[in-house]
Amino acid sequence: MAKINPCFKKTFVVFNVLFAVFGLVILAVAGLVHLFLEEFDEKWSVVLSLYVTGGVTFIIATLGAYGAHTENKGLLIAFFTLMCTGTVILFRVAVPVAIFRSEMILTMKTEMNHLVPLDRTRPNVQHMLVMFQKTFQCCGFFNGYQDWGEEVPDSCDCVSTYVHPDECQQMTSVSAYKRIFQLSNKSRMVYKEPCGPVLMQYLDKIYSSILGVLFGLAALALLGTVMSLAMIIRVSATGHSPLPTFGVSYIPPKYSVLEKNIK
């Protein structure tokens, strides 16, 4: 006979499946952040934290689902302990991240400015920005084509027929030598909009996604803590040995036998 209500057990299993999905979402976000922030020195701590959080979340969810299915008190207690710890850690991480959000975005902007001039930075950074410029029709980080120094890539050129003329500007060489001998630059049109603001918008969206995942997991962890505690109480209550019972006979005494003995 089942100790736990079947409906409650199914609800708890569904909860853990949802919790496992959140863990997979964290792993996916970690992969995206890893690719998008590949060129920044701070990436490893952020990405590693996301990978660990996603993996641990998935393992805990599997433990809870199996413990509920088998009604194993030991597994449920382990799940409850891990969920309590996870709830505290998630809120401890999510709240400071939300408070210092603007400071961290400003740090990313400072890191971008340190990469200028772009023609002298690392090749992998140049490749990433060239692909970004082609996709979003922008040039440079915050100062347009001037961020590239002397070597402005072709990805900055206004070559698309769908680009409005106001979105382009005429490029002039920074070097006096090139202004004299490279007359072709006088007619070269490049994108006016810098890529920095666009890139910061995407970083802000990624940051918001991370915050949403953290607070969502914290809420799920708190709910899982309450549900697992209820299951532990139920399993403990039904696991006690029943009290001994004593049989009582309702057969009336044989008064006739007593009467004969008296006579």
Output the pLDDT for position 247.
52
The beta-carbon contacts of 46-50 under 8 Å, at least 24 apart in sequence, are: 49/93, 50/26, 50/210
Relative orientation angle of helices 73-99 and 43-70, to the nearest 10 degrees:
150
More confidently predicted of 249 and 166:
166
Q: Angle CA(79)–CA(6)–CA(233) in degrees, nearest 5?
A: 45
213 lies in the same domain as 153:
no
Q: Identify which of 64, 31, 94 has the alpha carbon closest to the alpha carbon of residue 223.
A: 64
Neighbour-count burial of 99, counting CB atoms closer than 10 A to its CB (0-12 exposed, 13-18 middle, 19+ buried): exposed
pLDDT digits (tens, 9 = 90+) for 147-181: 898 889 988 988 765 667 778 888 876 554 454 44
- Confidence class for position 221, pLDDT limits 50, 70, 90: confident
Distance CA 124, CA 19 (A): 37
193 lies in the same domain as 211:
no
| Mean pLDDT calculated for residue range 106-110 | 84
* Residue 257 reports pLDDT greater than 60: no
51 lies in the same domain as 80:
yes
Q: Is residue 213 part of a domain?
A: yes
104 lies in the same domain as 212:
yes
Q: Is residue 44 part of a domain?
A: yes
Total domains, the chain: 2
Q: With H, G, I as helix, E, B as strand and everything else as coil, classify residue 169.
A: strand
Output the pLDDT for position 41.
52
* Residue 184 reports pLDDT greater than 70: no
Output the pLDDT for position 245.
53
Q: Is residue 58 part of a domain?
A: yes
Residue 117 DSSP symbol: S
Q: Identify which of 136, 153, 151, 115 has the alpha carbon closest to the alpha carbon of residue 193.
A: 136
211 lies in the same domain as 190:
no
- Confidence class for position 186, pLDDT limits 50, 70, 90: low
Output the pLDDT for position 26.
81
pTM comes to 0.62
42 lies in the same domain as 90:
yes
Instruction: Using CA atoms of 55, 85, 225, 71 in order, give the dihedral in degrees to the nearest 10.
Output: 70
| Mean pLDDT calculated for residue range 177-201 | 72
- Max mean pLDDT among 16-20, 36-40, 164-168, 255-259 falls in 16-20
Least confident of 97-101, 143-147, 208-212, 246-250: 246-250
Look up residue 33 and give its amino acid. Answer: V
More confidently predicted of 246 and 142:
142
Asked if 130 and 191 count as a contact pair (C-beta separation under 8 A), the reply is no
Number of CB atoms found within 10 A of residue 85's CB: 13
- Confidence class for position 81, pLDDT limits 50, 70, 90: very high
* Residue 243 reports pLDDT greater than 50: no
Cα–Cα separations (whole angstroms), residue 106 to 43, 111, 121, 186, 196: 15, 9, 20, 35, 12
Output the pLDDT for position 175.
53
Q: Identify which of 134, 150, 193, 136 has the alpha carbon closest to the alpha carbon of residue 168.
A: 193
| Mean pLDDT calculated for residue range 201-209 | 85
Domain limits for position 100: 6-108+207-238
Structure tokens at 132: 């970004």
Q: Is residue 263 part of a domain?
A: no
Output the pLDDT for position 1.
42
Output the pLDDT for position 177.
45
Going by C-beta distance under 8 Å and a sequence separation of 6 or more, which residues neighbour residue 218?
Answer: 87, 90, 91, 94
Output the pLDDT for position 139.
92
Asked if 147 and 118 count as a contact pair (C-beta separation under 8 A), the reply is yes
| Mean pLDDT calculated for residue range 120-125 | 86
Q: Identify which of 144, 161, 160 has the alpha carbon closest to the alpha carbon of residue 152.
A: 144
